[in-house]
Amino acid sequence: MELTALPRAFYDRPVVRVARELIGCLLVRETIEGLLVGRIVEAEAYLSQRDAACHAAAGQTRRNSSMFGPPGHAYVYAIHARYCLNAVTEPAGTPSAVLIRAVEPLAGLSGMRQRRGREAVCELARGPGRLCEAFAIDRQLDGSDLTRGTDLWIAQDGYRLSRRDLARSPRIGVTSAHDLPLRFFLDGSRFVSGPRKLHRRPVR
């Protein structure tokens, strides 16, 4: 498995493009008990200050300051007593990010099972909060550099998904800007979050 971290240039591009291309990439986490690896099957774009659903829309605070920094760093925030992982995109000063919503677990499943208290592979990293619990991600990793290939990073292996397998829908859970189709996911994947009807491409 090729696990070289994606370069800064990958993240230094329009956030929607990065979100789309992150589907199929590998999320990698170094822990004491070994490497955790999962294939990203669902992600959402948050578009800077013109997007009401983006945490940066109301301006910079201590919580969201990572999003205002350079691309290729993690933005980890707490919500409802969970954590969620984002990859910061676009040049510094453009506070946009991609929320990693779900991965298909590939390696390090025993540690994930232990932290999640669940056996079923589907239940380990389906949803942004579950994913962070399985991968031992918390606010300590906020702002960490995803391009160094230590602690936490994203890699691209030989896997290529066909255009037909990449689906797009409105974002899940947001209370504003419901209409924007900024959620990308692997069509039909069992490892995607949300109700079952959102596991497939919406009919058009």
Partner DNA sequence: CTACCGATTGACT
Partner DNA sequence: GTCAATCGGTAGA
Minimum CB distance to DNA smaller for 6 or for 193 = 193
CB of 171 to DNA, least distance (A): 7
Minimum CB distance to DNA smaller for 5 or for 97 = 97
Minimum CB distance to DNA smaller for 62 or for 160 = 62
Minimum CB distance to DNA smaller for 1 or for 79 = 79
CB of 53 to DNA, least distance (A): 6
Which residues would be at the binding site for DNA (CB under 7 A)? 44, 46, 53-56, 58-59, 61-64, 67, 75, 77-82, 84, 86, 97, 99, 116, 118, 123, 127-131, 139, 171-176, 193, 195, 197
Query: Can you give the chain as a three-state secondary structure string?
Result: CCCCECCHHHHCCCHHHHHHHHCCCEEEEEECCEEEEEEEEEEEEECHHHCCCCHHHHCCCCCCHHHHCCCCEEEEEEECCEEEEEEEECCCCCCEEEEEEEEEEEECHHHHHHHHCCCCHHHCCECHHHHHHHCCCCHHHCCCECCCCCCEEEECCCCCCCHHHEEEECCCCCCCCCCCCCEEEECCCCCCCCCHHHHCCCCC
CB of 114 to DNA, least distance (A): 14
CB of 102 to DNA, least distance (A): 8
